[in-house]
Structure 1
């Protein structure tokens, strides 16, 4: 028969279990609580928590919601605010550890050695082991904080190449070497207390080394930038030239291409040698200076011992602290180029943050289904004040197909990019169902607008992935539907692996340009966008391709979309019901196909008559006063 336990004994058992659980929890957390708090804050910054307004009254936001509600730049700023206190506390603790090492040497030499006490030696050795373990834990914790801060910069996006120096400095030994210089003042103070006037020698050496390093920082950063630019140019030229070796050989340019590659390799070699020489020169100069002053410190400490002004333990502690000072400065010199590059990248990042407008909270809008309207849109030539487009105004309803025609370099392709939201008009507006394009975010806007460039520009990946715009959750049925609408399905299934054929691979032959163009058209049609922008869609197409383009434009009309196609091919003109004529400087005409054709014929007739009147080969004519009055 089981004995019935009293409530008091039950409460005691619960208390013992709780205490045991707390002990296990503490055992699983080897770091102090404040360190875990700093790391947790850094992790939280990487997920970018953003609580504002009604969301601030919620209990918790998920990581996905958090990331979507705060920009990458805000996440970086939040990371710095939450990581810097922990890094500062860790730096202070690490700067005090050399005091413990110096104290250990003094006690070991001045107390344990004369006393010949084994227990004292063991105790001091235990103290030194504890200091080493604490030092290791603090260094590991600081590395984790820097890693989380570097992850925040990785998430900044859009500036990956420019943020590489910052990430390299944070996760590497460069930034820790800079922070460890904070231990130099502490070491000099302890050195003054232990060795007296001997501290002046390391102080003078540190000042000389800093004077040597100060002018070298900018030069090293410029040399490394030049080397990186040479590397990038060489890699880009190699990536572009490798697939075209056979074509260059057929064109008789193989030797010129080889000479260009050799020239790029020489530029990389010379830039790297120059940067390495300057960096090595600074490091060597710092090393020689540190060695000289360290020898002077040893001589001064020996003189004090000879004068009975210092003990053997004080001599050992003095040499340890002086070595620590000069070793820290030598590490700083070794990573000076990385720190200079990170400083420049950080400045550029901060300037870009100041120029970025604060993100607006966009209310989700319903998909456009009715109308496209362009009002007095103007766009200048990039980098100049000359206007590529000005006073462009037209409107299209659901089911319209607009053909954009005009001479070369009159702004047809730029017009499509403006309608897609890729470039912003300096004047006027572009509206879908009455809403300007900036009232949609980038993802929502791209879902409603399909764009086909003149050159297919397919990305490395499968055919299906290119059509689905690399959406990992793409529906295969939508992929095949877009391919059928573009007339590309039959050509795709004839490829070696069908929709799983890899594109843009160096070791595999590319499909024909006509097939690539149809795949790009299927990419533009994916998801049945309301507005379809086609830049010269009949390029690279034969009769079958033009017939597929006709069926595609007819399908857009039937489902109530709007198609704007650049080009004057029969497939485009016959399918269009509206025509937009551009001339250099702006819009020349817009209207139905019949009206624009009649106005163009009338202008051509008047131009012919005017040319006939002014031609020296034409017979003289007597001006008709009635016609003159009418005109």
Structure 2
């Protein structure tokens, strides 16, 4: 899934995209060949019809005025109006096609971007608020749906217009060519001056949004402890860098855009002047003088538009580059064979785990094997690797060594969506989603049945609690479950972990927010899973969570110190209290566990 060949191939594609505006646009349209052909054909017709104004002026000055023929003028006017109407229709069609291209790109990357929000924090070290892929998709879609791509489609027609200028007269062509070269030079200058500020802008925006989101989520702590002004100072510093970068990038675009506009108007006047000289010397007609001025304006308009849209183009190009990397990194090869439901063993073989983006192992050389109906408590002092092991057992953190196997199959061999149905996971930091209690318990499964939801709630011991709410299972819990207490959130999250009777259930500090009734319900839930042949792993810092488990795994400094039957392991790792055998203190790795 993350092979070096994939990364190398994708980086080569991205480098090609960065080097050329046209290659970026063609890459964006590569999977939409019919749309690309349609836009290209429409652009060709639009640029041919754009000659209407020039040739109308040419005919008026060279035919109508000398002949003083009103019928000829009326005929030319009807023809010109018809051609202008067709041009307008084609412009609308091209714009509508580009809007649909933008939507198609969104459809192509939408699922990838959403998957990255869940996958990336467990695979790589994420900087900022982690929402950069969402912003990248918005930027690309907005650019492709706007006027920028039309300029890139029209620029290749510049030689055609310049060639017509040379057909009018050699000096008109030379003047137009000189102006075109100057505008192309401005375009290259815009690229060089805006590339680095654009890259820096993406980083600062991500950092800025991360602080804003963190402040919003932790507003209670900020207000209660009164350190909002300190975060405000940090916000001012980040915002100052953001505004400075925005100003530099805008200055480049505005300055070069204004220069290109003034230069184009000067060139039009220059072509008129050259044409006037040619008319005086009787080397050209008045119609050619006017038509060449209009023709030059049309030839240079796409370049001027491209410069004015350069800020958007650079942002879209960089966003597209990141999206192509993203799609390659999280691509999952299709599984031709669907593995059967696991129902026998969980085997951990020489497991080594490290945090995303780190090479330093937190958990080292863990080897255990559990059979259906087994339950194990993972205990140890703080920072001993308990939660890391939990993440590894459910496949959140891929091993840097060793393997986790269900019925002999390593976790990467499973289809991720199919594997999720066989795993129940209660993380240490409980997070629910905005919606109803029923939706959260059912993991937002649209095909969930009432029987399965109620069964999970009863197994978790929250059925009666849910019925106490005015709307029962249809109660809206708000974002992050804000309408619930910490204990209620944890118990509903436990029901979510039990939904569908998964084979492997990992509970990380499941009793951290529970009262006595909640802990009793937790023990009953563990016993229920064991009775139906599931496997339960309970990560605990409080021995009360171990009441229903049969085995205990002791971790210290990321390594397994003991593993075996609960009573035997606890006997070896406990010491009597100062006043005699009671109370019992659990000493692991020199640290006393809370009771």
TM-score, length-scaled by structure 2: 0.82
Which of 490, 494, 498 is residue 517 of structure 1 equivalent to?
A: 490
Equivalent residue, structure 2, for 1:209: 183
Question: In 1, are the aligned partners of 2:377 and 2:539 still within 8 Å (CA)?
Answer: yes
Are positions 1:485 and 2:428 aligned together?
A: no
Equivalent residue, structure 2, for 1:92: 44
The offset of 1:571, in angstroms, is 3.7
**Separation in structure 1 between the aligned mates of residue 466 and residue 214 of structure 2, nearest angstrom:** 26
**Separation in structure 2 between the aligned mates of residue 267 and residue 477 of structure 1, nearest angstrom:** 55
The offset of 1:349, in angstroms, is 3.6
**Separation in structure 1 between the aligned mates of residue 330 and residue 211 of structure 2, nearest angstrom:** 33
Q: Equivalent residues in 2 for 1:206-355 (5 A)? A: 206-242=180-216, 244-352=218-326
The offset of 1:352, in angstroms, is 4.6
**Separation in structure 2 between the aligned mates of residue 311 and residue 495 of structure 1, nearest angstrom:** 88
> Alignment partner of 1:137: what SS?
helix
Q: Equivalent residues in 2 for 1:56-67 (5 A)? A: none
Q: 1:531 to 1:512 in 2, by over 3 A?
A: same
Equivalent residue, structure 1, for 2:589: none
Q: Equivalent residues in 2 for 1:194-593 (5 A)? A: 194-242=168-216, 244-352=218-326, 359-495=333-469, 497-505=471-479, 510-593=483-566
The offset of 1:195, in angstroms, is 3.5
**Separation in structure 2 between the aligned mates of residue 474 and residue 118 of structure 1, nearest angstrom:** 77
The offset of 1:420, in angstroms, is 1.1
Question: In 1, are the aligned partners of 2:377 and 2:540 still within 8 Å (CA)?
Answer: yes
**Separation in structure 2 between the aligned mates of residue 520 and residue 421 of structure 1, nearest angstrom:** 19
The offset of 1:131, in angstroms, is 1.8
The offset of 1:78, in angstroms, is 6.0
Equivalent residue, structure 2, for 1:148: 100
Equivalent residue, structure 2, for 1:24: none
Unaligned runs of 5+ in 2: 1-26, 114-132, 576-595
Worse overlay, 144-153 or 226-235: 226-235
**Separation in structure 2 between the aligned mates of residue 600 and residue 275 of structure 1, nearest angstrom:** 63
Equivalent residue, structure 2, for 1:16: none
Worse overlay, 473-482 or 539-548: 473-482
- 1:281-330 per-position Cα deviation (integer Å, ceiling 9, x unaligned): 12122122222222211211111112222112112211111111232221
- Which has more radius of gyration? 1
**Separation in structure 2 between the aligned mates of residue 119 and residue 230 of structure 1, nearest angstrom:** 65
**Separation in structure 2 between the aligned mates of residue 358 and residue 481 of structure 1, nearest angstrom:** 33
The offset of 1:79, in angstroms, is 2.0
**Separation in structure 1 between the aligned mates of residue 436 and residue 47 of structure 2, nearest angstrom:** 55
The offset of 1:215, in angstroms, is 2.6
**Separation in structure 1 between the aligned mates of residue 245 and residue 236 of structure 2, nearest angstrom:** 14
> Alignment partner of 1:215: what SS?
helix
Are positions 1:130 and 2:82 aligned together?
A: yes
Give the structure, 1 or 2, with the largest relative contact order (CA under 8 Å, sep 6 or more): 2
TM-score, length-scaled by structure 1: 0.77
- 1:454-511 per-position Cα deviation (integer Å, ceiling 9, x unaligned): 11111222222222222233223322322222222333333454333333449x9632
Equivalent residue, structure 2, for 1:3: none
> Alignment partner of 2:211: what SS?
helix
Unaligned runs of 5+ in 1: 1-74, 603-631
The offset of 1:364, in angstroms, is 1.9
The offset of 1:355, in angstroms, is 5.3
**Separation in structure 2 between the aligned mates of residue 533 and residue 296 of structure 1, nearest angstrom:** 77
The offset of 1:227, in angstroms, is 4.3
> Alignment partner of 1:461: what SS?
coil
The offset of 1:353, in angstroms, is 5.2
**Separation in structure 2 between the aligned mates of residue 172 and residue 283 of structure 1, nearest angstrom:** 17
Equivalent residue, structure 2, for 1:44: none
The offset of 1:400, in angstroms, is 1.2
**Separation in structure 1 between the aligned mates of residue 470 and residue 407 of structure 2, nearest angstrom:** 43
Are positions 1:180 and 2:132 aligned together?
A: no
Which of 171, 186, 190 is residue 164 of structure 2 equivalent to?
A: 190
> Alignment partner of 1:522: what SS?
helix
**Separation in structure 1 between the aligned mates of residue 28 and residue 45 of structure 2, nearest angstrom:** 25
- 1:146-179 per-position Cα deviation (integer Å, ceiling 9, x unaligned): 3333233213222433333322221111111121
The offset of 1:224, in angstroms, is 4.1
Question: In 1, are the aligned partners of 2:426 and 2:493 still within 8 Å (CA)?
Answer: yes
The offset of 1:354, in angstroms, is 5.5
| Number of positions where the alignment pairs a residue of Structure 1 with one of Structure 2 | 527
- 1:172-216 per-position Cα deviation (integer Å, ceiling 9, x unaligned): 111111211122111101111123311211211111122122132
Question: In 2, are the aligned partners of 1:221 and 1:338 still within 8 Å (CA)?
Answer: no
**Separation in structure 2 between the aligned mates of residue 535 and residue 210 of structure 1, nearest angstrom:** 61
The offset of 1:221, in angstroms, is 4.2
Worse overlay, 386-395 or 494-503: 494-503
**Separation in structure 2 between the aligned mates of residue 496 and residue 273 of structure 1, nearest angstrom:** 53
Question: In 2, are the aligned partners of 1:79 and 1:149 still within 8 Å (CA)?
Answer: no
Which of 57, 68, 73 is residue 105 of structure 1 equivalent to?
A: 57
Equivalent residue, structure 1, for 2:17: none
**Separation in structure 2 between the aligned mates of residue 597 and residue 236 of structure 1, nearest angstrom:** 44
Equivalent residue, structure 2, for 1:168: 142
The offset of 1:136, in angstroms, is 2.6
Q: 1:555 to 1:505 in 2, by over 3 A?
A: same
Question: In 2, are the aligned partners of 1:191 and 1:318 still within 8 Å (CA)?
Answer: yes
